[in-house]
Amino acid sequence: MTSGDVNRSFLPLPDISDGNLSHSFKNRKNQNTAKKPPTLYTKRQYNRSNISTTASVVTFKGPSGSPKLSSIYKPEKNESYFEQCFEKIEKMGEGSFGQVFKVRSRDDGLLYAVKMSKQFFRSESYREERLVEVKRHEEFSHQEHCVTLYRAWEERDRLYLQMELCQSSLETYVREQKIIPETQMWSFLLDLLLALKGLHDKNLIHLDIKLDNILITEDGVCKLGDFGLVCQENKESAMEGDSRYIAPELLQGNFSKAADIFSLGITMLELGCNLELPSNGILWQQLRRGILPEESKSILSGELYEIIQWMMNPDYQQRPSVEALLRYPRIFRLLQKRKRWWSITKIRKLKRNTVHRFVHRWHILKKSIRILLSRMGFAVLSCIRRRRGSEFEEHCSMSALELSDDDQLTSTPVLGDSSINMSDVVNSTPILSHERRRNVRLISASSPQNNSSFEEFEDHLSRSPLNYTPRSKHDFSSLTGKKLFTNSDDSD
């Protein structure tokens, strides 16, 4: 026993007796209707004096490989970076630390998952803990069986992560599927072992392996996510994950790679047997003692039951490593067979992304065409309006030249002769004043070709009575030349 083991404080474990206790199983039909507990919201206790309202990239990469913000982001707008650069489609899930949304990027048109922290940064240490997740996620983002992180940024005291979009979590997938074939379970186990191998090769442990943190893609491939609790092996100050999945040695302060193996084993037990895992109590202790439910022997095959029991060994030193599990005959044969299909999977992913980009650009092209056609229509209408307006102004100016202001306001006699048609007189030529008529006579004398019309007009006036009743005002239309009577007080 080392000195480090002596200084550790061991927690007492209760005596477990073999009673008539039995495990409960999930009811797939009633899971969708189960009520969820209300969400707890905490008051903000931390106010930084230098809170920035603009988005800033969070990265631990070098200056050459660091991601940048989108070019369509305008910091002067009141909308956040998330609202400007993404179109929110639906809410995919919610955890204790954040919410995950399915979004479409306005930049490239592809679908992504954006995780937004639910709580504000309460302190500087709390902010650093959240940023560690970005650092760990960037280290494993390039791996095939880990969720890819494209960009992370902080804005208005919140952390945002733009990640690869997966179909759903394994918890949701199991809930929708009535039966999980055992061949698919072996495939899921291989995916998760390959994801753990990348962490364990760097002496890192995940500490939070569970169905909610395992995502499944459209191709049916499982990927490991949520690296918020990743820490170095044998680190003294580490945080445990969900109590339903933690290994028993974590309660004694022993953080090792074997803890991830236990969590993976109990996850496969839950997946294969549709088991309702307890969070504490006697049944919880039985699982940590290696006592599996009796029903699991009839549900699982002998080979799968054997490997799960091996992974859930109470003694963490007797549990297999990731390399030992990958050498297991059934898993090794599946790995060799899958290597021939990885290229096909990459081609499918490339084809799907190409189709999404093409659809997005086609929508942008149609929108641009609609905007262009609408602008052209408005331009044509404005040209027609300006042309008609110029014709109207030209007609008004010509009418104003024919009739002066004095002529429009001059009183005229009311012709009493029944032989005179007033409409013909008004429509043929406007009624002129005395001075205007005298000028017209002088002009008509010099131009004999136009004397006939004026003589005809003078003949009309000569047949009118000398005494007439004057009217107060006569108005003429500038467009048609017709006389409009207004404010008439005729006593005839």
User: What is the Cα 378 distance to its own chain's centre?
Assistant: 32
CA 252 – CA 235 distance, rounded (Å): 13
Report the helix count and the strand count for the chain, using DSSP H and E.
16, 13
**CA within 13 Å, CB half, 51:** 15
Strand runs labelled E in 310-431: none
Residue 234 DSSP SS3: coil
Tokens of 282: 């006697």
81 φ/ψ sector (left φ>0, alpha ψ -120 to 50, else beta): alpha
Q: Which residues are 204's β-sheet partners?
A: 232
User: 108 catalytic, yes or no?
Assistant: no
CA 224 – CA 213 distance, rounded (Å): 6
Tokens of 95: 């955890």
* Euclidean distance between the first and the last CA atom of the chain, given in angstroms as a whole number: 134
- Summarize the chain as % helix, strand, coil (round to 5): 45, 10, 45
CB-CB neighbours of 227 under 10 Å: 25
Q: Which of 233, 224, 141 is nearest to 188 (CA)?
A: 224
Contacts 24+ apart (CB under 8 A), 484-492: 490/414, 492/414
Q: Are strands 111-117 and 204-205 parallel, antiparallel or unpaired?
A: unpaired
The active-site residue, picked from 107, 108, 157, 208, is: 208
The alpha carbon dihedral of 318, 320, 321, 324 has a sign of: positive
Q: Please report, as a single letter, which amino acid is at residue 145.
A: H
Q: 104 Cβ partners below 8 Å, 6+ apart?
A: 86, 87, 89, 110, 111, 112, 360
* Residue 466 burial class via C-beta count within 10 angstroms: exposed 0-12, middle 13-18, buried 19 and up: exposed
Cβ–Cβ under 8 Å, residues 172 and 227: no
Residue 161 DSSP SS3: strand
CA 170 – CA 172 distance, rounded (Å): 5
Tokens of 397: 């100016």
Catalytic positions, written as ranges: 208
